Structure 1
């Protein structure tokens, strides 16, 4: 039997589709400084891939005397202001997305950024690039909980086990794998390993339909093997 394409591809946003992590970090530095504190790169790195409400709680502990929702609103507004000047697309991401769309493979954006941030990026890409969007303010549990990826597959009407999820962070990859998706980790701001249950790549440049077909087939074979052993 010829290996089939995944039923859908589920995309993370920050760090995977767009290189917004430096924007988030600069915004965190400015916000903490406005309350007389300091914020280091190491501290910022601990928040990569986390939900915004978790990040807000960490910033509160660093002296940001604001409600969590206001922290999130301020950070998002600042990042969007920076993106309005320049959207930092990740190498190979738009090309792979365009190839998926041309082949008719459904796609969903699964992000812990809030809806207005996600919608900005969807509009910036244009051409109806995503069939569904799951945003951080639309789920009860943030990554690494599987809820967001389960919701993405549900919105597309597909089995998450037949999906490939593309992520750049350990919390995101943990979320995708916990949901049951085949996970592709594209290393960027945070280090990834080669032996943690996902496929690792240094970049999406050159990654195409044939690669996702093989990842999907390998994931399905691994799942079938686990089922036969149980």
Structure 2
């Protein structure tokens, strides 16, 4: 297979590189308990997963000032980092896919709405920071996900083109961002099921990066094509 020189792989981090959603759920419940807010997995996926903290604070704690709401979310992130420091696990098949991408010279970026401290903790904890040529933090841009800007920025930093690249996401918000940037997006089934991910815009879904359909799709999408 001849690789298109403008092809790339772009990954969300939470729930996509690492199965961290259970840790986020625990941290959210700890932070929101004083406000009478309790989340189960379904409510987490519906109201929290993939959203920027500024949006979560506005939606869940509307009676607080923006500064007060963000202070609560800062406490949540500190709780998450404490939990994640000793409990980070990759999504199955991740390392083999990263090895194959590196061997093929296929550049990669991580694109997230998470705070930089969280993103760096997860990448370092998995030992994969060096794999990514770019780390895009939504809160450091004019718009985070679901706006396409984070993925457009990832493509820009890699010198890649959306039509020959692939994104990996686990949330509705993330899929909306990636697909709006023109990327074919594979939904990872760490929290949401096939139907929900496809309804959000995923072209296919997988439990593992070793899924033959996932690998075949990547190979098809990133190869050199006529008139690209």
Q: TM-score range by the shorter chain?
A: 0.7 to 0.9
Distance in 2 (alpha carbons) for counterparts of 1:68 and 1:155? 32
- Look up the match of 1:76: 77
Distance in 1 (alpha carbons) for counterparts of 2:63 and 2:170? 26
- How far residue 155 of structure 1 moved from its aligned partner, in angstroms, is 1.0
Distance in 2 (alpha carbons) for counterparts of 1:107 and 1:40? 33
SS at match of 1:110: strand
The answer to whether the 8 Å contact 2:136/2:154 transfers is yes
Q: 1:200 aligns with which of 192, 205, 213?
A: 205
Equivalenced residue count is: 220
Query: Quick check: 107-116 or 89-98, which moved more?
Result: 89-98
CA 1:184/1:197 → structure 2, altered by over 3 Å: closer, same or farther?
closer
| TM-score normalised according to structure 1 size | 0.83
Distance in 2 (alpha carbons) for counterparts of 1:108 and 1:56? 27
Query: Quick check: 100-109 or 208-217, which moved more?
Result: 208-217
Cα RMSD of the aligned pairs, angstroms, is 2.8
Gaps of 5+ in 1: 225-230
The answer to whether the 8 Å contact 2:109/2:158 transfers is yes
Distance in 1 (alpha carbons) for counterparts of 2:62 and 2:156? 36
| TM-score normalised according to structure 2 size | 0.84
- Look up the match of 1:27: 27
CA 1:94/1:57 → structure 2, altered by over 3 Å: closer, same or farther?
farther
Task: Output aligned runs, 1:131-142, within 5 Å.
Answer: 131-142=133-144
Q: 1:143 aligns with which of 142, 145, 148?
A: 145
Task: Output aligned runs, 1:51-66, within 5 Å.
Answer: 51-61=52-62
Distance in 2 (alpha carbons) for counterparts of 1:152 and 1:68? 29
Gaps of 5+ in 2: none
- Look up the match of 1:167: 169
Distance in 2 (alpha carbons) for counterparts of 1:31 and 1:64? 16
The answer to whether the 8 Å contact 1:108/1:133 transfers is yes
CA 1:124/1:40 → structure 2, altered by over 3 Å: closer, same or farther?
closer
SS at match of 1:165: strand
